């Protein structure tokens, strides 16, 4: 039976009036995390400076080039990839090595027609050919040298002159150089050039469409590992661009060979394949994620790499788990039944790498949100998961704090026993501090945790059952001002969370203390800003609370 995406699960009891679905948040996070990853953590598209075979590139000048230098570079790129078509349909490819040594651009050309290669000397007329002789190994070497020079130009700077290379006709030349039977050195250089072209702008990435079938074909077992890895890198850049290109790659069969590249313990090859796969399956359609987890051996490979791999490889594998657990019910179920949860917790406990911590945390949160039984699986004796989440809450990194609070919010939405584990841990004091001092996105996740600690899940759309003991404890420790500040927020979701917690205080504090506590913190004024608010839910909620608890009879007894 095909996986149709995620089945909604209520995981936020505090939001009974809206019925927020954790699975939907999970999918939304999966779609948006690509942007976070590209801009802040690991680029979704990567420029290849050092090849898969270890070939070191020239030193990189990160300073912005002056106009004159850029002009020279574009001229060299055009020369390296320039195509001149003859009147008989042949294609001329200028020898970049000769150009770079300063020799005349009309002195030597590599001539390609119907798969045979020739050379000729030109004098004044490009269309007039003389002394045509068939080339052997020498021509092959010259072709590789030309490709290598083009690759160096496309690898040298932060923003390579890809547009110039495309105008020079580089793609058609590179596609021809990927033909079967070509030497590995030629295949590697051509795939490397395509990798860096695909790392460019959207229209530049799309220019690789004619090359995709050959790049996928060279992922096969008969290809050398450096060639297969470089092709995977190029495909990863294409997949990182947009959903439309991912669909093209999936339709052309890119996923199975990339998945098989994850199976052996081949270091950088597995890392590149995992990175490319995380780009390929990141949705929003769940079909690719479901297909990947079903590939024989992939789940075992994921577990092995999470357990034994170095941090670089474990990071890429963890991103694969992020999208698997975010998008596919099939994958989530298989991951939960495997040994992946303890491996994620162990990685959280033992690493300080931000690049690794973030996808591991996200994966753990996805799995907890997807299945309420998973919470019991991770809360093993000793409650190590709470300890590692406390470690993340203490971090200086904003993203880690936010992700840790999100995982805790899903744990807090579980049973009373799970809530008590949080309440009795160091996490509670940290959460209360973050509610009043952190950035708005972190405060919002913290509000979910604290709100869920005070209520138990209920069936249907009724009000959540109040856990008065937890509510009294939190209010006595000073959390109410933080929630009232959320009510004043321009963020609709944050304001709703603030109002929902105020409702708990108003109806749940003993001896009718709730209204007085809210009034003391200027909560009435905070709610009155919604009197004519455009959001109907918030307007009705706030006005209803004011009318019910602060009507004409309020304060009469006093």
Q: Which stretch of DSSP H or E encloses residue 261? A: none
In the DSSP assignment, the letter for residue 45 is S
Q: What is d(CA 258, CA 232) in angstroms, rounded to the nearest whole number? A: 7
The bridge status of strand 91-94 relative to strand 109-113 is antiparallel
Phi, psi of 112 (to 5 degrees): -120, 125
For residues 307 and 345, is the Cβ–Cβ distance under 8 A?
no
For residues 204 and 197, is the Cβ–Cβ distance under 8 A?
yes
Contacts of 180 (CB under 8 A, 6+ apart): 217
The C-alpha angle with vertex 365 and arms to 237 and 476, in degrees rounded to 5, equals: 140
Q: Given this model, what pLDDT does residue 63 score?
A: 36
Confidence band (pLDDT; 50, 70, 90) for 236? very high
306-322 average pLDDT score: 94
Residue count (the chain): 558
Query: Would you tell me how many other CB atoms lie within 10 Å of the CB of residue 443?
Result: 24
The residue among 295 and 366 whose pLDDT is bigger is 295
Place of tokens 């609070």: 405
What tens digit of pLDDT does each residue of 207-218 get? 999 999 999 999
Q: What is d(CA 212, CA 46) in angstroms, rounded to the nearest whole number? A: 17
Handedness of CA 205, 206, 208, 209 (dihedral sign): positive
% of the chain exceeding 70 in pLDDT: 70
What tens digit of pLDDT does each residue of 242-285 get? 999 999 999 999 999 999 999 877 778 999 999 999 999 998 88
For residues 109 and 94, is the Cβ–Cβ distance under 8 A?
yes
Query: Would you tell me how many other CB atoms lie within 10 Å of the CB of residue 9?
Result: 17
Place of tokens 């995380």: 278
**Least confident segment among 235-239, 294-298, 415-419, 420-424:** 415-419
In the DSSP assignment, the letter for residue 133 is E
In the DSSP assignment, the letter for residue 121 is E
What tens digit of pLDDT does each residue of 68-83 get? 445 544 554 444 444 3
CA 476, 478, 479, 481: dihedral to nearest 10 degrees? 130
Q: Measured in whole angstroms, how far is the alpha carbon of residue 184 from the centre of its chain?
A: 32
Query: Would you tell me how many other CB atoms lie within 10 Å of the CB of residue 532?
Result: 8
In the DSSP assignment, the letter for residue 76 is H
Q: Given this model, what pLDDT does residue 370 score?
A: 66
Q: Given this model, what pLDDT does residue 408 score?
A: 93
pLDDT at 89 over 70: no
Q: Given this model, what pLDDT does residue 166 score?
A: 87
Q: CA-CA distances (angstroms) from residue 363 to 61, 140, 416, 553?
A: 37, 48, 24, 51
Rg (the chain; Cα; Å):
30
Q: What is d(CA 9, CA 11) in angstroms, rounded to the nearest whole number? A: 6
Q: Given this model, what pLDDT does residue 173 score?
A: 87
48-53 average pLDDT score: 62
SS3 131: strand
Helices (H) and strands (E) in the chain, counts: 31, 7
Q: Given this model, what pLDDT does residue 142 score?
A: 81
Query: Would you tell me how many other CB atoms lie within 10 Å of the CB of residue 448?
Result: 25
Q: Which stretch of DSSP H or E encloses residue 194? A: helix 184-198
For residues 301 and 262, is the Cβ–Cβ distance under 8 A?
yes
Q: Given this model, what pLDDT does residue 465 score?
A: 84
pLDDT at 326 over 80: yes
How high does pLDDT run on average in the chain?
77
Q: Which stretch of DSSP H or E encloses residue 134? A: strand 130-134
End-to-end CA distance of the chain: 66
Q: Given this model, what pLDDT does residue 379 score?
A: 65
Place of tokens 């081949």: 266
Confidence band (pLDDT; 50, 70, 90) for 162? confident
Q: Given this model, what pLDDT does residue 96 score?
A: 30
Q: Given this model, what pLDDT does residue 504 score?
A: 95
Q: Nearest to residue 445, comparing CAs of 397, 416, 412, 471?
A: 412
Phi, psi of 198 (to 5 degrees): -65, -20
- Indicate the angle between helix axes 311-327 and 354-370, nearest 10 degrees: 30
Q: Given this model, what pLDDT does residue 109 score?
A: 32
Q: Given this model, what pLDDT does residue 463 score?
A: 64
Contacts of 426 (CB under 8 A, 6+ apart): 390
What tens digit of pLDDT does each residue of 2-45 get? 344 443 233 344 533 222 344 455 555 554 544 444 333 344 67
Q: Which stretch of DSSP H or E encloses residue 274? A: helix 268-280
The residue among 374 and 484 whose pLDDT is bigger is 484
Q: Given this model, what pLDDT does residue 29 score?
A: 56
Note if the bond before 284 is cis, omega within 30 degrees: yes
**Least confident segment among 11-15, 227-231, 465-469, 511-515:** 11-15
% of the chain exceeding 90 in pLDDT: 50
Residue 495 token pair: 């304001």
What tens digit of pLDDT does each residue of 497-523 get? 999 999 999 999 999 899 999 999 999
pLDDT at 124 over 70: no
pLDDT at 482 over 70: yes
**Least confident segment among 69-78, 362-371, 380-389:** 69-78
Q: What is d(CA 88, CA 212) in angstroms, rounded to the nearest whole number? A: 28
Q: Given this model, what pLDDT does residue 256 score?
A: 96
The residue among 552 and 342 whose pLDDT is bigger is 342
Handedness of CA 335, 337, 343, 345 (dihedral sign): positive
């Amino acid at each position: 039976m095909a996986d149709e995406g995620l089945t909604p699960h209520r995981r936020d009891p505090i939001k009974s009036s809206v019925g927020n679905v954790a699975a939907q948040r999970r999918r939304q996070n999966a779609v948006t995390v690509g942007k976070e990853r590209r801009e802040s953590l690991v680029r979704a598209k990567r420029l290849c400076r050092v090849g898969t075979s270890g070939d070191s590139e020239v030193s990189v000048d990160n300073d912005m080039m002056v106009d004159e230098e850029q002009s020279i570079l574009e001229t060299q790129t055009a020369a390296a990839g320039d195509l001149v078509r003859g009147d008989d349909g042949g294609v001329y490819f200028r020898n970049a090595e000769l150009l770079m040594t300063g020799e005349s651009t009309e002195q030597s050309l590599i001539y390609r027609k119907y798969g045979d290669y020739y050379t000729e000397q030109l004098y004044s007329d490009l269309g007039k050919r003389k002394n045509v002789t068939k080339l052997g190994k020498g021509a092959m070497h010259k072709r590789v040298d030309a490709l290598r020079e083009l690759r160096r130009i496309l690898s040298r700077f932060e923003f390579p002159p890809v547009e110039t290379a495309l105008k020079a006709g580089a793609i058609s030349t590179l596609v021809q150089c990927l033909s079967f039977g070509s030497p590995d050195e030629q295949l590697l250089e051509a795939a490397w050039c395509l990798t860096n072209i695909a790392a460019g702008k959207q229209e530049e990435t799309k220019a690789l469409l004619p090359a995709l079938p050959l790049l996928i074909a060279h992922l096969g077992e008969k290809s050398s590992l450096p060639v297969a890895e470089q092709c995977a890198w190029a495909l990863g850049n294409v997949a990182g661009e947009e959903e439309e290109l991912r669909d093209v790659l999936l339709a052309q069969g890119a996923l199975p060979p990339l998945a098989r590249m994850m199976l052996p313990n081949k270091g950088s090859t597995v890392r590149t394949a995992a990175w490319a796969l995380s780009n390929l399956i990141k949705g929003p359609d769940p079909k690719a994620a479901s297909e990947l987890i079903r590939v024989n051996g992939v789940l075992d490979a994921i577990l092995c790499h999470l357990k034994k791999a170095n941090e670089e490889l474990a990071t890429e594998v963890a991103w694969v788990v992020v999208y698997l657990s975010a998008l596919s019910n099939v994958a989530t179920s298989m991951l939960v039944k495997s040994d992946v949860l303890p491996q994620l917790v162990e990685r959280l406990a033992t690493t300080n790498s931000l690049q690794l911590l973030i996808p591991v945390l996200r994966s753990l949160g996805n799995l907890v949100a997807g299945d309420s039984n998973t919470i019991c699986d991770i809360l093993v004796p000793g409650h190590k998961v709470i300890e590692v989440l406390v470690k993340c809450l203490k971090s200086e990194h904003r993203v880690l704090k936010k992700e840790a609070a999100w995982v805790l919010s899903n744990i807090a939405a579980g049973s009373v026993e799970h809530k008590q584990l949080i309440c009795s841990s160091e996490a509670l004091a940290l959460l209360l501090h973050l509610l009043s001092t952190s950035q708005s996105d972190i405060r919002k996740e913290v509000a979910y945790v604290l709100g869920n600690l005070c209520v138990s899940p209920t069936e249907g759309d009724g009000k959540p059952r109040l856990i008065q003991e937890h509510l009294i404890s939190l209010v006595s420790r000073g959390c109410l001002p933080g929630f009232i500040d959320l009510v004043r927020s321009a963020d609709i979701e944050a304001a709703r969370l603030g109002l929902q917690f105020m409702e708990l205080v108003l109806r749940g504090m003993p001896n009718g203390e709730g209204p007085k506590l809210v009034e003391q913190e200027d909560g009435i004024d905070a709610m009155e800003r919604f009197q004519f608010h455009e959001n109907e839910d918030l307007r009705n909620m706030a006005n209803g609370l004011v009318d019910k608890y602060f009507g004409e009879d309020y304060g009469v007894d006093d």
